[in-house]
């Protein structure tokens, strides 16, 4: 468990000879994993983890998921208000104007090893976009914003180009007449998605756009606080997101469901019949670090509101696509987890039902986290812009727990 403590020897303000109070740093506090520490201000998303509330600029996530589009949500996050019709139209056109990759960039993607993990490819390719920018270091807000829009607009083409490359298929150029969601699915599959699939994907993009000071967002803010550059901040955030304790969990959820199916097959049983022993076994091995992926959250101690929405949504899609098996397995896991560890505040997070949603709309497992990144770039960039506006360098301290006054022992005496 995390602990918050104030060392007894915390410095107190002292008077300077002139009688003015010297600007001593604030008394240090320590919290493992920075739990409960406020490290930045934001106007983008608000989370109440006890009540299960998530709002973007004050608007409940459920309302946005039902009524908004990804483009409108990004406008909201970056401008602090919903756009008027003409503003949304202009913003959408500007984003679509950035769908194209720089000249020669597709060739670059096609030199990637086909066996590379898409998140490693994405991190590298987003980083290398900076080399095609004549002025990558400009951090004034209007220019940084343009870079944000360019990275957001280009990322779908990077992911789709790589996926087609590894399948031995030619690159499909983006289409500016399509929405962010539809264009990605079009470039990936070479055909326009149906309205229902586009809507499902768009909703996933909305739900993943921003989420307070999560690990990857914090990473982006820490990087830009050195006045580095937008590309470095987004690249670092992608590196953070891919971890299995963060955005990589959606792939792990799917792997867990696959593992249950395989195990059931090997035992000649139905998957539903082995879920209970499977989950109970993992829970029994919690002290060894075993986890039920897609459950638990640093902030939410009740069900993540994005999971609530996705649960209903994934049931609908699973019903429409005639693929209810995984939804039913997920629902059973949720019931067992609620019974066993609900009292400890361990509930489904966004990754749990997004895995089945993505699977139901035919997306490949190792693209789940890149798709999360594709949406979250909007949140990372928004935080980078907030950080640049009144920046102060992030530079926390460590609690030194090593020895003092240790002798320097000459090499031949060690
Ligand atoms: N399965 C089993 N037990 C869990 C789980 C889980 N998924 N999550 C937390 N616990 C238990 C821990 O074993 C621990 O139990 P203990 O008090 O008996 O030791 C207790 O709950 C607290 O767990 P911590 O890991 O200390 O909680 P923390 O706030 O550090 O972790 C985290 C949050 C990393 C998300 C954790 O819940 C986890 O590992 N979940 C699985 C991975 C996952 O789904 N990540 C996605 C998060 S959402 C996102 O990033 C987009």
Task: Give yes or no for a contact between 231 and 129, defined as CB atoms under 8 angstroms apart.
Answer: yes
Residues 328 and 347 in one domain: yes
Going by CA atoms, what residue is nearest to atom 50 of ligand 1?
A: 246
Residues 116 and 68 in one domain: yes
Using most ligand atoms within 8 A of CB, pick from 33, 207, 296 the residue to mutate for ligand 1: 296
Does residue 295 line the site of ligand 1, with CB under 6 A?
yes
Using most ligand atoms within 8 A of CB, pick from 34, 288, 291, 345 the residue to mutate for ligand 1: 291
Does residue 292 line the site of ligand 1, with CB under 6 A?
yes
Helices (H), 178-322: 180-189, 195-208, 215-224, 230-241, 249-266, 271-284, 305-320
Instruction: Report which ligand 1 atom has the smallest distance to the Cα of 246.
Output: 50
Does residue 346 line the site of ligand 1, with CB under 6 A?
yes
Beta-bridge mates of residue 47: 54
Does residue 208 line the site of ligand 1, with CB under 6 A?
no
Task: Give yes or no for a contact between 385 and 391, defined as CB atoms under 8 angstroms apart.
Answer: no
Q: d(Cα 319, Cα 313) in Å, to the nearest integer?
A: 10
Whether 408 is covered by a domain: the verdict is no
Q: Provide the whole-model pTM.
A: 0.90
Closest CA to 380 of 155, 184, 204, 224: 224
How high is the pLDDT of residue 317? 87
How high is the pLDDT of residue 361? 85
For residue 351, indicate whether it is catalytic.
Answer: yes
Whether 410 is covered by a domain: the verdict is no
Whether 16 is covered by a domain: the verdict is no
Whether 188 is covered by a domain: the verdict is yes
Whether 38 is covered by a domain: the verdict is no
How high is the pLDDT of residue 151? 98
Query: Reading across the β-sheet that carries 59-60, which strands appear in turn?
Result: 45-48, 53-56, 59-60
Residues 88 and 124 in one domain: yes
Q: What is the extent of the structural domain holding 259?
A: 249-360
Residues 237 and 264 in one domain: no
Does residue 286 line the site of ligand 1, with CB under 6 A?
yes
51 alpha-carbon distance from chain centroid? 21
Active-site residue, from 120, 246, 335, 366:
246
How high is the pLDDT of residue 6? 41
How high is the pLDDT of residue 297? 94
What is the distance in A from the centroid of ligand 1 to the CA of 123? 25
Whether 29 is covered by a domain: the verdict is no
Total domain count, the chain: 2
Please give the C-alpha separations between residue 33 and each of 52, 215, 292, 389, in angstroms, as whole numbers.
Answer: 21, 10, 20, 26
Domain CATH code at residue 238:
1.10.580.10
Domain CATH code at residue 337:
1.10.230.10
Please give the C-alpha separations between residue 122 and each of 126, 131, 161, 244, 334, in angstroms, as whole numbers.
Answer: 6, 15, 11, 17, 32
How high is the pLDDT of residue 15? 38
Residues 213 and 339 in one domain: no
Residues 264 and 187 in one domain: no
What is the distance in A from the centroid of ligand 1 to the CA of 177? 42
- Coil, helix or strand at residue 31: strand
Residues 142 and 189 in one domain: yes
Residues 208 and 282 in one domain: no
How high is the pLDDT of residue 16? 41
Closest CA to 384 of 245, 271, 217, 269: 217
Residues 328 and 193 in one domain: no
Residues 117 and 224 in one domain: yes
Residues 294 and 161 in one domain: no
Q: How many helices (H) and strands (E) does the chain have?
A: 16, 5
Q: What is the pLDDT along the chain (414 residues), one digit of tens a residue?
A: 344 444 333 333 333 444 455 567 667 788 999 999 999 999 999 999 999 999 999 999 999 999 999 999 999 999 999 999 999 999 999 999 999 999 999 999 999 999 999 999 999 999 999 999 999 999 999 999 999 999 999 999 999 999 999 999 999 999 999 999 999 999 999 999 999 899 999 999 999 999 999 999 999 999 999 999 999 999 999 999 999 999 989 999 999 999 999 999 999 999 999 999 999 999 999 999 999 999 999 999 999 999 999 999 889 888 888 878 999 999 999 999 999 999 999 999 999 998 888 888 889 999 999 999 999 999 999 999 999 999 999 999 999 999 999 999 999 999
Going by CA atoms, what residue is nearest to atom 29 of ligand 1?
A: 298
Does residue 291 line the site of ligand 1, with CB under 6 A?
yes
Does residue 383 line the site of ligand 1, with CB under 6 A?
no
What is the distance in A from the centroid of ligand 1 to the CA of 222? 24
Q: Does an H or E element contain 338, and which?
A: helix 324-341
**DSSP string spanning 208-248?**
HS-BTB-HHHHHHHHHHTTT--HHHHHHHHHHHHTSTTTTT
Please provide the distance, in angstroms rounded to a whole number, between the alpha carbons at the two ends of the chain.
38
Q: Which two tokens stand for residue 249?
A: 């969990």
Whether 204 is covered by a domain: the verdict is yes
Task: Write down the residue that tokens 């095609």 correspond to.
Answer: 132
Whether 339 is covered by a domain: the verdict is yes
User: What backbone torsions phi and psi does residue 26 show, to the nearest 5 degrees?
Assistant: -60, 155
Residues 233 and 102 in one domain: yes
């Amino acid at each position: 468990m995390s602990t918050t403590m104030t060392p007894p020897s915390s410095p107190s303000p002292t008077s300077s000879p002139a009688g003015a109070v010297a600007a001593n740093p604030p008394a240090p506090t320590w919290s493992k994993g920075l739990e409960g520490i406020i490290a930045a201000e934001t106007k983008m998303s608000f989370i109440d983890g006890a009540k299960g509330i998530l709002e973007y600029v004050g608007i409940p996530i459920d309302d946005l998921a039902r009524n908004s589009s990804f483009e409108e949500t990004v406008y909201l996050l970056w401008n602090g208000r919903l756009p008027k019709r003409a503003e949304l139209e202009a913003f959408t056109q500007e984003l679509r104007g950035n769908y194209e990759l720089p000249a020669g960039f597709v060739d670059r993607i096609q030199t990637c090893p086909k066996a590379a993990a898409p998140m490693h490819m994405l991190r590298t390719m987003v980083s290398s976009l900076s080399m095609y920018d004549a002025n990558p270091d400009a951090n004034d807000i209007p220019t940084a914003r343009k870079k944000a829009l360019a990275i957001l607009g280009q990322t779908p083409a990077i992911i789709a180009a790589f996926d087609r490359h590894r399948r031995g298929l030619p690159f499909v150029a983006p289409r500016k007449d399509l929405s962010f969601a539809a264009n990605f699915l079009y470039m990936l599959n070479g055909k326009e998605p149906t309205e229902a699939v586009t809507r499902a994907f768009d909703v996933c993009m909305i739900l993943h756009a921003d989420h307070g000071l999560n690990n990857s967002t914090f990473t982006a803010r820490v990087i830009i606080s050195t006045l580095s550059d937008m590309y470095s901040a987004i690249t670092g955030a992608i590196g953070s997101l891919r971890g299995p304790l963060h955005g990589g969990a959606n792939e792990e959820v799917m792997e867990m469901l696959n593992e249950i199916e395989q195990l059931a097959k090997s035992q000649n049983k139905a998957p539903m019949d082995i879920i209970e022993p499977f989950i109970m076994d993992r829970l029994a091995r919690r002290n060894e670090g075993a986890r039920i992926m897609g459950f638990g959250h640093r902030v939410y101690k009740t069900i993540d509101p994005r999971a609530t929405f996705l649960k209903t949504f994934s049931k609908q899609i699973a019903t429409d696509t005639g693929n209810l098996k995984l939804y039913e397995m997920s629902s059973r896991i949720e019931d067992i987890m609620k019974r066993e560890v609900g009292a400890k505040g361990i509930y489904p997070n966004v990754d749990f039902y997004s895995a089945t949603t993505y699977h139901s709309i035919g997306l490949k497992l190792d693209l789940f986290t890149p798709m999360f990144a594709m949406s979250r770039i909007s949140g990372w960039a928004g935080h980078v812009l907030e950080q640049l506006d009144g920046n102060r360098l992030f530079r926390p301290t460590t609690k030194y727990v090593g020895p003092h006054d240790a002798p320097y022992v000459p090499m031949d005496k060690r």
